[in-house]
Amino acid sequence: MTVLRDFKGPAGCRSELVIGREEPSAAAREQLGRGGSVLLHGPAGIGKSTVLRALAAEYAPAARTVLRCSATESESHLPFLALADLFGLVLPEVAGELPAAQRTALESALTGRGESTLQRDGLALRLAVLSTLRALAARGPVLIVADDLQWLDPASAELLGFAARRLGGTPVRMLCAVRTEDEDYGRHLRSPALGGARAGGLPCPPDTLSVRLGPLSRAQVSALLDHRGHTGLPRSTVREIHRTSGGNPLFALELGRALAESPARPRPGEPLPVPTSLRALVLSRLEMLSEEARRTLLVASAGARPTPALLHAAGRENAEAECAQAARLGLLATEPEGPAVRFAHPLISAALYAEAPAGERRAAHAALSTAASDPIERARHLALSTTGTDPGVAARLAGAAALARDRGAPSVAASLGLLAARHTPADGEPGPDERRLLAAEDAITAGEVDLARDIARDVLTRATVPAQRVRAWMVVIEAAGQALGEVDAVFPQALADAGDDPGLLALVHYQLAWRGLVVEGDFGVAREEAAHAAELAARGGDRRTELMALAFRASTETLMGHPDAPSTIGRAMKEPQDPYVACHHNGVGAARYRWLLMSDRLTEARATITALLREVRRRGMVESEVHFLRLLAETELRAGHCGRALDLARESLRLARDTGIGEGASAMLACFAEASGGDTGRALALAGEAVRLAEEDGDQMYLSRALAALGYAQFVSGDAQAAVATLRRVRELETGLGITDPARGRWHGDLAEALVLVGEPGEAQQVVDTAREHALRLGRESVLAVLDRAEALVVAARGDTEAAAVRLASAQDRLAGLGNGLEEARAAFALARLRAPRPDPTSFDEAARLFRRCRALPWLRRVDAAALARPAQPEPEVVPAVLDGLAAMERQVAALVMEGATNREIAARLFISVKTVEATLTRVYRKLGIRSRVDIVRLAAGRRAK
């Protein structure tokens, strides 16, 4: 194989391809896999070369000859340079096969010797390129890899375009990349056959697939920064990098590198440091602006939502003309609708602002502090135009922060609060640390946990007031999320700082309740700590903490199946209420929702969680939004709305990954949703992620939920043996946690059904009996119906199919009445499989109809497979007397063997596993004194002979 370059690239290249490029890469792979050509395109820095290298490395081994060229702007005026890169080393291999005129023309073009030019020997040279590619392809597949086609010299482009249009079915693939901005996207890609430099097109075959690489999401930018070693950046900083870079990976990495090299991180309200490498991309155009136009753009870059009217109010009298000049230079985007002034790329605004002297920046903010119409914006500009401490400015900023908080913008409130602290004198009232702590609490609400933790630890280096220290410790604990084991050392320090103050002690004991649940995995300890925290808070007059502790106790009792749960919820719902607690994901509303859901009051549960989700979105409570999206998805799943549940679960997971909040819990619920309405492969991967995160955090509570999700996904995917092993572990964990309410995880029916399939009906019955005892005590009607469905399968496995059918039909009716659409469909499916041996063509149709109504695609696939596998044989004849001494299941299996059924067919007809069939046959052999199924067939033959 002839390979002119090493396409493997740096070690990191292929892993970068995974970050945000899965979908376009998949399309490119599919095209290349069927022998087609691919053109990657997008703006500078978007990652075209990275993807090109990775795809080339993947597909080069399948080609006999790999040709490569990479054009540069500085060499684009040199004719035939790309042609020389491509053919310089391989021409000797095929030169003897070219006609003399073609060989002479091509050699002259590649070496620069002789007088041959494209104009003089044009046809011979064009045919030489085509003949060379055909000769190489006759020896084996050819892959042409060409990067930066926008700099390809016109002569090479025309020749390659000529050949590309005429290769037809020749095994020559092209993998190319070209830089295209929005404005020249169509010019390159809509030209005839993508070929011919004179047409303004590209030298690619007519059927080339064009794949545009777009900007990365914030989560993908974060992953890319981590991959390149820029770890530990606060999420607020990552968000700003994403905004400034516009999702461009090269720009994001350069900004991350500049931050890593900067001695101090930018303070709130300050722009990111823009490295010289990126400033150079735009400063050359900025230099072409007039001085006044540059000042106008500086004011626009400092404003949040600049418009011509705002620029006029800020003293820029010729704003329209100056903006028009900037637009002609490509610095501003043309806005066909609306009056906004928008930069062509966020980086232009950032570079312009970073390049301006500090005095000019302050002047721009000073002008905007009076010109802006929004009081929050005016306060921010006032702060950025002021140096040193100023009580008046600090007070205005604190007021703006409160207004932002009320508007549901806690992230903005946190930024303004930090600005207020910076301008607050050391002896001010409230003091700067008090304002910092309020900003940290706003950051927690906004999901900016890294920022919150940094603020709190900074306060702890100075604060001596117990109340401030305890509040700071609480922020540190909150920022740890589910990984409470990582902050174990904080609790003794917080208790010491709280002293004997009941209000401060209540805060600490509330967090100790969470520690008891998450770290120790002890619901009893968690409940006792929550009750103690509520009592302390009541003594200290802290109604908010009292309500949070009562809500936590109520949720714990609900999950435990404790009889006090309804009365504790009633106490938590008494007036006076706190609006924040009422809609918090660990607050009173959430506690009531959990109780409603577990009590089968689905309509009320959905209305409750929908209202809570709407309110936390209004307030900007990101962490609560992540959790409520997940809980609404769970509700829809219970109701059998699998498509809707899948959409909500995916949205929750995206938000969780973007913010780093509740990733394990969201992955767990997304697993359930994928296994029910999406893809079981994704479900298994998500379950593995959820289990790993729970184990890393030491979170016993969510570990059992994650394992239950894994067991369900394994069961739906057809791996009953793995499901049994996983769900047995769930049973062990929940027994240790003290969880007795089977409505908490709803895994008992899955375990029982899986046990039947692996030939353990006795253990399945034990699971059903234990769960039913608690479900009866707590009145969990839907759980009881599911357990009856599972028990019916146990009965069927023991040979009484008629009784099993009656139970399944009853369970299906009850689940339908309770609104549990998916469980109803599963009961119908079980009934159809039980009746499969009978000639009833409609039995599977009903199950398919119900699963289709739920959009339960994985289950629909199982129905289709079961319907296709349904045996066509009639029921066995009357069982011979020789089998009378066998148990019911043993007689059925033996009789079906006599009729010639295979073990798999017997399993399908009797709704048991192949393993159960094999174990049953072993008992039959022993009882009948025979050794194999052949002996059973002989018994049948003897019976027929008589």
pLDDT digits (tens, 9 = 90+) for 892-905: 788 888 877 788 77
User: Quick one: which of 693, 761, 750 has its CA closest to 722?
Assistant: 750
- Residue 608: per-residue pLDDT: 96
Which two structure tokens, joined as six digits, stand for 764?
Answer: 């399945």
User: Quick one: which of 495, 559, 478 has its CA closest to 521?
Assistant: 559
H or E stretch covering 468: helix 466-479
Residue 458 in contact with residue 418, Cβ under 8 Å?
A: no
- Residue 923: per-residue pLDDT: 85
Amino acid at 141: P
User: Quick one: which of 276, 215, 212, 281 has its CA closest to 246?
Assistant: 215
Q: Residue 2 forms beta bridges with which residues? A: 65
**Residue 586: exposure state from Cβ atoms within 10 A (0-12, 13-18, ≥19):** middle
Q: Cis bond leading into 576, ω under 30°?
A: yes
Cα 485 from Cα 521, distance rounded (Å): 12
3-class DSSP assignment, residue 840: coil
Residue 871 in contact with residue 884, Cβ under 8 Å?
A: no
> Which 8-state DSSP code applies to residue 20?
T
Q: What is the DSSP string of 308-319?
A: HHHHHHTT-TTH
Residue 404 in contact with residue 416, Cβ under 8 Å?
A: yes
Angle of the 249-261 helix axis to the 218-227 helix axis, nearest 10:
50
- Length, in residues, of the chain: 946
User: Quick one: which of 8, 135, 141 has its CA closest to 64?
Assistant: 141
SS (H, E, C) 253-290: HHHHHHHHHCCCCCCCCCCCCCCHHHHHHHHHHHCCCC
Do the bridges between strand 38-42 and strand 2-3 make them parallel or antiparallel, or are there none, so unpaired?
unpaired
Amino acid at 40: L
Model-level pTM greater than 0.85?
no
Phi, psi angle pair for 146, to nearest 5°: -135, 120
Residue 211 in contact with residue 27, Cβ under 8 Å?
A: yes
Burial 822-853 (b: 16+ CB within 10 A, else e): bbbbbbbbbbbbbbbbeeeeebbebbbebbee
- Residue 882: per-residue pLDDT: 63
Q: How far is CA 193 from the centre of its chain?
A: 38
Q: How far is CA 939 from the centre of its chain?
A: 60
User: Quick one: which of 829, 826, 869 has its CA closest to 845?
Assistant: 829
Q: How far is CA 237 from the centre of its chain?
A: 20
Q: Which residues in the chain show pLDDT less than 70?
A: 1-18, 112-121, 182-202, 263-264, 266-271, 280-283, 334-339, 836-843, 869-882, 884, 888, 908-913, 940-946
Angle of the 291-302 helix axis to the 319-328 helix axis, nearest 10:
90
Cα 514 from Cα 523, distance rounded (Å): 9
- Residue 267: per-residue pLDDT: 65
Radius of gyration of the chain (CA): 35
Query: Could you tell me how many helices (H) and strands (E) the chain has, helices first?
Result: 49, 8
Cα 688 from Cα 704, distance rounded (Å): 12
- Residue 270: per-residue pLDDT: 66
Residue 46 in contact with residue 250, Cβ under 8 Å?
A: yes
Residue 209 in contact with residue 41, Cβ under 8 Å?
A: no
Which two structure tokens, joined as six digits, stand for 3?
Answer: 């390979």
Cα 287 from Cα 289, distance rounded (Å): 5
- Runs of H (alpha helix) within 639-760: 642-659, 663-677, 680-697, 700-716, 720-737, 748-757
Q: Residue 753 forms beta bridges with which residues? A: none
